[in-house]
Amino acid sequence: MADLPSDCIFCGIIEGKISAKVVYQDEKVMAFEDIKPIAPVHILIVPRKHIPDLTKTTAEDVDVLGHIQWVAAEIARQQGIAERGFKLVNNCRADGGQVIYHLHYHLIGGKLLKYIV
Ligand code: AMP
Ligand code: ZN
């Protein structure tokens, strides 16, 4: 529930202070395995920039938001789940069930996932 980067678990992973199983990284994003996977493939894609949640994005963030969608597809191809498909989920704030306040997208696949919406 960190609002400041110094308290933020995902900033800690990005800075290399907290270990994670990194599956992809570039100048804009990092992607690593979720510590409590709910499916055979469960990866978190996070911008390197600390943005607390989707409601805090600005027009300047459009580039990284679009980039995340491409990275999700790229990781899905690498992980072998592109053909059968997957879910790409952002939990936004309290009603969305967000726990960690550093913007992230869950890439989930490798099994048939329940219909949510
Ligand atoms: P959310 O509810 O969208 O905020 O989800 C946060 C996710 O972060 C959960 O699926 C957690 O299992 C995951 N998580 C928490 N701590 C870590 C960590 N140190 N490394 C990887 N994933 C984590
Ligand atoms: Zn952060």
- Domains by residue range for the chain, with CATH: 9-101 (3.30.428.10)
User: What proportions of the chain, in percent to the nearest 5, are helix, strand and coil?
Assistant: 30, 20, 45
Smallest CA separation from ligand 1 atom 15, residue:
35
Query: Which listed ligand is nearest to 6 at the C-alpha?
Result: 2
Tell how far the Cα of 5 is from the centroid of ligand 1, in angstroms: 16
Separation of alpha carbons 62 and 66, rounded Å = 6
pTM: 0.95
Please give the DSSP secondary-structure letter assigned to residue 89.
E
Residue 88 contacts residue 105 (beta carbons within 8 Å):
yes
* pLDDT, tens digit, 9 for 90 and up, residues 2-56: 455 779 999 999 999 999 999 999 999 999 999 999 999 999 999 999 999 999 9
Report the candidate in 6, 10, 29 with the shortest Cα–Cα distance to residue 18: 10
Tell how far the Cα of 2 is from the centroid of ligand 1, in angstroms: 13
Q: Annotated catalytic sites, by residue?
A: 104
Residues within a 6 A CB radius of ligand 1: 9, 18, 20, 32, 34-36, 44, 91, 97-100
Mean pLDDT of all residues belonging to the chain:
95
Tell how far the Cα of 84 is from the centroid of ligand 2, in angstroms: 32
* pLDDT, tens digit, 9 for 90 and up, residues 46-98: 999 999 999 999 999 999 999 999 999 999 999 999 999 999 999 999 999 99
Separation of alpha carbons 1 and 53, rounded Å = 11
